[in-house]
Chains A and B, each alone.
Chain A
Amino acid sequence: MIRFILLQNRQGKTRLAKYYIPLEDSEKQKLQYEVHRLVVNRDPKFTNFVEFRTHKVIYRRYAGLFFSMCVDITDNELAYLESIHLFVEILDHFFSNVCELDLVFNFHKVYLILDEFILAGELQETSKKAIIERMGELERQE
């Protein structure tokens, strides 16, 4: 199960933070700080997995942005790594050539996409097309 998903830039600014477990706000801040510190200085040749407290963080870097997922120790790391990539592809498609600013100004849409992709800490939809179509329908509802 995914415990939380973070999207941070190199400076440690959080661009998206989604928690699937209840945490105090102060604890969340601490986690974000720790995860950022953990992933930001790792050599790109290193594994994309870091053990973190009693769980592990699967992260992937896209330009200046770090996508990190904290998952159970028994989960399939490679699969989550792949799902991060799928999420990025969806974002890229939706914002046509996504950049950090898109995510800042449309953060609520990013959350919406995430909610179509992951629910209750589990993968919900694996088709890029289905999610993009669904987002189009939701936009029309506005």
Chain B
Amino acid sequence: MGSRLRDMIRAVRACKTAAEERGVIAKESANLRTAFKEEDQDYRHRNVAKLMFIHMLGYPTHFGQMECLKLIASPGFPEKRIGYLGLMLLLDERQEVLMLVTNSLKNDLNHANQFIAGLALCALGNICTAEMARDLAPEVEKLLHNNNSYIRKKAALCSVRIVRKVPDLVENLISSATSLLSDKHHGVLIAGIKLCTELCEANFSALEHFRKQTSSLVRILKNLVISGYAPEYDVGGITDPFLQIRVLRLLRLVGRGDADSSDIMSDILAQVATNTESNKNAGNAILYECVLTIMAIEAIGGLRVLAINILGRFLGNRDNNIRYVALNTLIKVVAVDTQAVQRHRTTIVECVKDSDISIRRRALELVCALVNESNVKTLTKELLEYLKVSDPEFKPDLTTKICYLVQKFFPNKRWYIDQMIKVMVEAGRFVKDDISRALLLLISNAAELQGYTVRSLYNAFQKWDGQESLAQVTVWCIGEYGEMLVHHMNELDGEEPVTQVTEADTVDVLELVLKDFRASSTTRAFALTALLKVSSRFPSCTERIKALVLQYKGSLVLELQQRSIEFTSILSKHENIKASLVEKMPVLDEATYIAKKVDAADVAFSTDSKSVPATVLPAVPVANGPTKSKSGTNALMDLLNLNVDEASTPSAPQTRKSAGDVLLDLLGGNSSFTSPLVASPVQGPSGGADALLDLLSIGNATSQTTSSPLSTLEPFPQRNPEAASQKPSNPVPDLLSQNTVSSQKDSYSSFTADFKKSSIPGAGFDLLGDLGIGSASSISTTGPVYPPIVAFQSSGLTVSFEFSKQSTNLPATVIHATYTNTSSNTYTDVIFQAAVPKFMQLQLEPASGNVLPANSSGTVTQVIRVNNSQHGQKSLVMRIRVSYKINGQEVLEQGQVNNFPPGL
């Protein structure tokens, strides 16, 4: 029979330790189980209430789920109330049990007692599934016209949920939703306007429809603004701010991109903007919403000025909340009116230094949006000053942003180098690989600055404190331009005089890095290579270098060991070719690097701006985006890093990295990898999409620039880039021919060894051919070209997408989908369905057939048209579902496509 709910709560509260609490709960749970088993009718609702309390404490309660359903099915209100409450707390829309409740819900929705109908609506609104939504939509729609306002408002919000679950139902709801707009009751209005907003977001024709209702929306707002004191809805002297905000938000939707409705609403917007009291939070909330609306619609200039002035006032407010929203809004405004925002620059920069991280983040983002060529110097200076004192959790963000700004707006290369060195000294830990690579690229291309750079780096390195990026850049530059450091070559005007640096000092730096416990093996590998390179230029140190290199003979890191052994042999046995072998690197090719970087950056930014609409809150591991950009970086890193870990440990990468990375490395390294590796990722289905994407972007770049992009980035000392660019289709033999001398020597360096293994002519390009995408040139040039992707792949089914786009209509994309069946069974009745987020429109054309023969012996194609209304801000995402029959057996497969190429 058990205790009362109150007693149980007391007992739990009386517990002094967690163990004691667990004991009480275990006992109660056991009692509850027994009670449930005995079908204890009288106390069922009390038991379920206890169960909810236990659930709230975080203990398992699934054993009581059925009890909720039983309570719901019982006739009395108190039982139903607890039953529905339990349903909402203990279950959610993913439980199968929920299907059982549909019928009870249907009965209760039609119940004569308004309170019971209200309970049912509430439950439906909070947990309904798509199926329930379909089944119960007619009932809910009827209730939208109920004469009880209590029921109407609940039905309206319930419909919001239904539309979110089943967007097809929009059409049925438009007229009912419109009628809600003339309601007098605030609760109904606020719910009704929300419903209209939801409909407009889901469907374009609904938006068109509600544009015609602009004047009634304006009337609602006007009534609120001019009405006198309404005690029931008053918040600090303002009548129902919540409702005002809802109306303003809907006005924003209808006014965006529509001059007529914008015109109708401009008077009332001006009125709201000027008359709303801004000394209370409620008033500011309205002003904030109003500003957003003014900036979004086709407003006249005067109104915009008004809005921006409000933001200026916000920015000067002492309340942090208000400053936060001001910054947040200015970010959106900056695209529309940069000048107006520039006026507040000093204040914004101050906000970057605020003690509140929320404000700092917003302000930093805004500062980045404000930077241009003319103010980059002052702003970077400010940010760098701040970098020194900012707290550790903020440094990664700040560093990335500073690097981005410097890269984007540098007025001259010397300044760029100076700033990057400063950043690396202050926060080198957070400088990402691609950023230090970009710096090396720039240095490599600035012959006149190389001496200056290596000297500055040497000076900066005196303050070295384990910063990875600083070590790598310094070591690399010493390896390449070490003699400029020692001999003071290419001194610039106004350069700080350096105290005499000897060859030994330089080698000291390398030794320091090599032996420092903080340096990673990648950095050590840099240092070994640098030692080899300076060995020919610093004859006085040869013996010391030999000794240093030799120390790694027994390194546990295979890569370092290999370098050590091979370099030792170069140093001792091959003096005659050493000089030519360790010549300076050819100038790195900027164009290809930039092309590739833009690719990666696009992806990175789309994830930054959270464009992937996360349907559920727990951060869905944001699909392929970041991986892709990361693999791009890896590849680049690998490229510059001569022979990478992967080369020496061929079996490891498959387990550690995705096939995409390996492929990238393969193509990227072009010739420095063994061919057995080529085969596996191509055949292995998983991870293919990413790889394809990046492969293609390489392929495209090749065909456009008619040079072999990655091979120009190659680290081979004797390579002549021109030779390769003349015969882009066959770079490998070219490379080989220049290295013939060296490749005959079997004890040569590791890269030559790798070189030979892949001496299959044009292996990299064959690879492209294999993948069926070698025809980069055949892709039409009418619009931007996008690489095809494998959108979906399961055990038997492959869906691949090819894209085309007219440059005149960028939001629209035509996707040619191809379905292939690799299994041994024929698929019949194949139906393909797709869904996109609300801001996109999707149109599926009929498929070329509905039967997929087995073993890839035939394909079905289909054209999908997608219109991305937020083109440029958000990238495409799509959910797909394919149903088919194997021998009459229905099969359903679904998945999400996140790997669309950026820019679609």
Tell me the A residues contacting B by CB distance below 8 Å: 3-4, 14-23, 25, 27, 29, 31, 42-43, 45-51, 53-55, 70, 73, 76-79, 81-83, 85-86, 104-105, 107-108, 111-112, 115, 119-120, 122-130, 134, 137-138, 141-142
Contact = CB atoms under 8 A, between A and B. Distances in A.
B358 A50 contact: yes
Contacts of B53: 107
10 A-B pairs closest in CB distance: A78-B285, A120-B125, A46-B356, A22-B92, A120-B161, A119-B157, A125-B187, A79-B285, A47-B320, A47-B324
B343 interface: no
B862 to A, nearest CB: 31
Interface string B291-325: 00000000000000000000000000000111111
Contacts of B464: none
Given A23-B92, A54-B619, A119-B158, A141 B77 contact: yes
A81 B53 CA distance: 27
A24 B614 CA distance: 16
Main secondary structure of the interface of B (DSSP, over half): helix
A107 B85 CA distance: 11
Contacts of B126: 20, 115, 119-120
Interface in B147-165: 150, 153-154, 157-158, 160-161
B70 to A, nearest CB: 18
Given A49-B358, A126-B240, A134 B150 contact: yes
Nearest to B622: A54
B36 interface: no
A76 B285 contact: yes
Given A76-B285, A127-B186, A120 B356 contact: no
Interface stretch (B241-249, B386-394, B886-894): B241-249
Contact of A47 (B115, B153, B356, B610): B356
B158 A111 contact: no
B700 to A, nearest CB: 32
B327 to A, nearest CB: 10
A25 to B, nearest CB: 7
13 contacts: A21-B616, A46-B356, A78-B281, A82-B281, A111-B89, A119-B121, A120-B157, A120-B158, A122-B191, A123-B242, A125-B186, A130-B187, A142-B81
A46 B358 contact: yes
Contact of B243 (A15, A45, A126, A130): A126
A84 to B, nearest CB: 11
A47 B355 CA distance: 10
B251 interface: no
Interface of B: 6, 9, 13, 49, 52-53, 56-58, 60, 77-78, 81-82, 85, 88-89, 92-94, 115, 121-122, 125-127, 150, 153-154, 157-158, 160-161, 186-187, 190-191, 194, 232-233, 235, 240-243, 245-246, 249, 281-282, 284-285, 288-289, 320-325, 328, 355-359, 361, 610, 614, 616-619
Contacts of B240: 126
Contacts of A49: 321, 324, 358
A79 B285 CA distance: 5
Contacts of A112: 81, 85
B285 A23 contact: no
Given A23-B617, A54-B610, A120-B157, A77 B325 contact: yes
Contacts of B322: 78
B63 to A, nearest CB: 13
A17 B242 contact: no
A126 B115 contact: no
B618 A53 contact: yes
A107 B617 contact: no
Main secondary structure of the interface of A (DSSP, over half): mixed
B28 to A, nearest CB: 15
Contacts of A48: 321
B9 A104 contact: yes
A78 B325 contact: yes
Contacts of B355: 43, 45-46
A49 B327 CA distance: 13
A47 B321 contact: yes
A68 to B, nearest CB: 13
A53 B617 contact: yes
A63 B480 CA distance: 64
Contact of B154 (A16, A17, A119): A119
A51 B393 CA distance: 14
A55 B610 CA distance: 9
A20 B81 CA distance: 19
A126 B190 CA distance: 8
A79 B78 contact: no
Contact of A79 (B58, B289, B323, B357): B289
**A15, A42, A49 — which one has the most chain B CB atoms within 10 A of its CB?**
A49
A4 B9 CA distance: 24
Contact of B288 (A17, A50, A76): A76
Contact of A138 (B115, B121, B324): B115
Nearest to B95: A22
Contacts of B81: 112, 138, 141-142
B539 to A, nearest CB: 58
Contact of B58 (A29, A129, A137): A29
B547 to A, nearest CB: 52
B288 A78 contact: yes
A24 to B, nearest CB: 8
A20 to B, nearest CB: 6
Contacts of A130: 187, 232
A58 B89 CA distance: 22
Contacts of B150: 134
A31 B235 CA distance: 32
Contacts of A127: 186-187, 232-233
Nearest to A32: B58
A79 B56 contact: no
Nearest to B92: A22
Given A19-B92, A120-B125, A127-B232, A78 B190 contact: no
Given A25-B58, A120-B160, A124-B187, 4 more contacts: A21-B617, A119-B154, A120-B157, A124-B153
A123 B190 contact: yes
Contacts of B13: 104
A104 B93 CA distance: 27
B744 to A, nearest CB: 58
A17 B56 contact: yes
A66 B794 CA distance: 46
A43 B359 CA distance: 13
B293 to A, nearest CB: 11
A41 B160 CA distance: 36
A77 B245 CA distance: 11
Nearest to A86: B235
A107 B52 CA distance: 9
Contacts of B282: 78, 82
B246 to A, nearest CB: 8
A115 B324 CA distance: 30
Contacts of A45: 320, 355-356
A104 B10 CA distance: 10
A70 B617 CA distance: 9
A53 B324 CA distance: 18
Contacts of B158: 119-120
Contacts of B246: 123
